[in-house]
Amino acid sequence: MAKTLLITGASSGIGAATARAAAAAGWSVALLARSKDKLDALKGEIGEQALSLPCDVTDRDELKQAIDTAADHFGGLDAVFANAGTGVSSPGVENGDPQEWHAMIHLNVLAVLTTAHASLPHLRKTKGHFVVTGSKAGRDHLKGSVYGATKWFVQGLAGNLAEEMREWGGRCTVITPGMVDTPFFDEPKPDKIQPEDVANGVLFAISQPDTAAVREIHIMPND
């Protein structure tokens, strides 16, 4: 039976590219994001292997329901990619917008944590894999970056979760790209990392033999 990968932020950029790559490699994919139209279009492109589950991952009940529905539909979850995330339009701390921080921290920090909380009972059954999108901005210090600080949380959580999951044979990987050419930015970035490059990294991590736990994949643009 095909293995199943659940992806948050599957409607565009890195998440959509990972859904396409995983499906091409024979995985079933559960697609989570708010944009029903985009998820349905992606499901139409991939076919029966895909399940579209529109939801807001900052809503704990909606998120848990979507994760449980995916596990029921496919008969379990082998891997979960917590990838939904956002930045802010007002940079810096002194000049930042606390309201924007609230929404970003809810998505980049709390929703990653609740995605893990709701999916671990399923992953425990399969000795499964949790992958999360960090960033170069979560490994380096960038002037005034509150976004970067949310990714430092992700970096820390991923290592701690890897230690928790290894007790039952589970694995956790943080993937930390530099700039990726996605709708995260208003302008195209053709010379930067392509979303398919990040998808390749995710597939590499979740396709390793049981003896290898890939803890981090760091990808930089080659321009």
Ligand X SMILES: NC(=O)c1ccc[n+]([C@@H]2O[C@H](COP(=O)([O-])OP(=O)(O)OC[C@H]3O[C@@H](n4cnc5c(N)ncnc54)[C@H](OP(=O)(O)O)[C@@H]3O)[C@@H](O)[C@H]2O)c1
Q: Give the residues lining the site for ligand X (CB under 6 A).
A: 8-15, 33-35, 38, 56-58, 83-86, 107, 133, 135, 177, 179-180, 182-184
Residue 36: which of 50, 22, 55, 20 has the closest Cα?
55
- CB closer to ligand X out of 69 and 126: 69
Cα 188 off chain centre by: 21
Q: What distance in Å separates the CA atoms of residue 77 and residue 70, rounded to the nearest whole number?
A: 8
Q: Three-state SS for 60? A: helix
- CB closer to ligand X out of 60 and 124: 60
**At 89, which amino acid appears?**
S
- CB closer to ligand X out of 15 and 170: 15
Query: Has 147 been annotated as catalytic?
Result: yes
CB count within 10 Å of CB 47 equals: 8
Residue 178 near residue 9, CB atoms below 8 Å: no
Smallest gap from Cβ 56 to ligand X, in A, equals 4
- What letter does residue 85 receive in the DSSP assignment? -
Q: Three-state SS for 126? A: helix
Smallest gap from Cβ 215 to ligand X, in A, equals 17
Q: Three-state SS for 33? A: strand
Catalytic residue among 23, 147, 150, 172, which? 147
Calculated CA dihedral for residues 80, 35, 196, 189, nearest 10 degrees: -130
- CB closer to ligand X out of 143 and 210: 143
Smallest gap from Cβ 180 to ligand X, in A, equals 4
Q: What distance in Å separates the CA atoms of residue 51 and residue 44, rounded to the nearest whole number?
A: 10
- CB closer to ligand X out of 124 and 189: 189
User: Catalytic site residues?
Assistant: 147
